[in-house]
Amino acid sequence: MTNTTPAYKRILLKLSGEALMGDDSYGINRGVIERIVAEIGEVVALGVQVAIVIGGGNIFRGVAPAAAGMDRATADYMGMLATVMNAMALQDAMKHQGLECRVQSALNLEQVAEPFIRGKALRYLEEGTVVIFGAGTGNPFFTTDTAAALRGVEMSADVVIKATKVDGIYTADPKKDPSATRYEKLSFDEAIAKNLKVMDATALTLCRDQNLPIIVFSIFKLGALKRVVMGEGEGTLVHL
C-alpha cells in the first residue's frame, strides 16, 4: 500500500551545480533544469514546503584551471557568485512552470536577489513559495553542503535531501566497482567514520548534532524526488 500523505512537511533540497549540466561539460542544460523543476513542482503540489541550496560547480568548472593558483578565499567567493547564477536560472525555469519562487543570497547582491533574512524565508515557505538560497553560507572555506545543513537547521526542515547522480550511498563507487552495494540506512557516525563522501564532515556533524536526517538520491531517476518525500524508501537515509 502506497502512502497518500507526504512523510515530510518541509524539505531542504541540496542540488549540485553539476546536476544542471546534464551531459554537457559545463554550464546549464535547459532541458535538464526544466525536468528538475517539474519534479520539484510535483512535490510542491503535494503541499510540501521546499527550500533549495544550489552549488556552482557547473559554472566554476569552466574557470577552475585559472583558479588553480588563486587565493582560496577569492576562488570561494567566485564559486558563491556561480551559485547565484544557478539560483537565478532555477528561479526563471520555475516561473515558466508557474511556481512561486524567491532567491535569497548570503552575499549582498540586491539588484538580482534578496538578502538572506531568516524570518522572511520562513514566511515564504509557509505561503507555499519555493525559496532558493544562493551564495552558500556567504563565507569562504565552507562548502554548499555545509550551507545546505545550515539552512536546513535554520528553516526547521524535516530533512535535507541531497540530489546526486547516484541513487544513494554505496559501499564503493558503483561506476568503478560492480560489486558495490547500496546502503538503505546509515548512522551519521558510520558515514563519517567510513568517509563515504556523502557530504563533507562539517555538514554531516552539523546535521548529526541537530538531529536533521539526510537522504541521498538520484535526481536523474524520474519521480524519485516525489518518492523520497512520500517516504517510499528511495535513496539512502542517514540518521542518528
Q: From residue 37, how far is each of 139, 208, 214 by CA, in Å?
A: 28, 29, 21
Helix (H) or strand (E) holding 227: helix 224-229
The annotation places the binding site for ATP at 14-17, 57, 61, 164, 170, 173
Please identify which residue in the block is written with the cell numbers 547522480: 165
Alpha carbons within 13 A on the beta-carbon side of 32:
20
Q: Determine the Cα–Cα distance for residues 229 and 223; give it in Å rounded to an integer.
A: 10
Q: Determine the Cα–Cα distance for residues 205 and 45; give it in Å rounded to an integer.
A: 32
The annotation places the binding site for UMP at 56, 76, 137-144
The annotation places the binding site at 14-17, 56-57, 61, 76, 137-144, 164, 170, 173
Q: Which amino acid is at 229?
A: V
Return the C-alpha cell found at 229: 518525500
Query: Whose CA is closest to 142, among 205, 214, 195, 66?
Result: 205
Q: From residue 219, how far is each of 11, 58, 226 by CA, in Å?
A: 15, 16, 10
Return the C-alpha cell found at 169: 550511498
Strands 236-239 and 214-218: antiparallel
Return the C-alpha cell found at 224: 524519485
Q: Which amino acid is at 194?
A: K
What 3-state DSSP class applies to 36?
A: helix
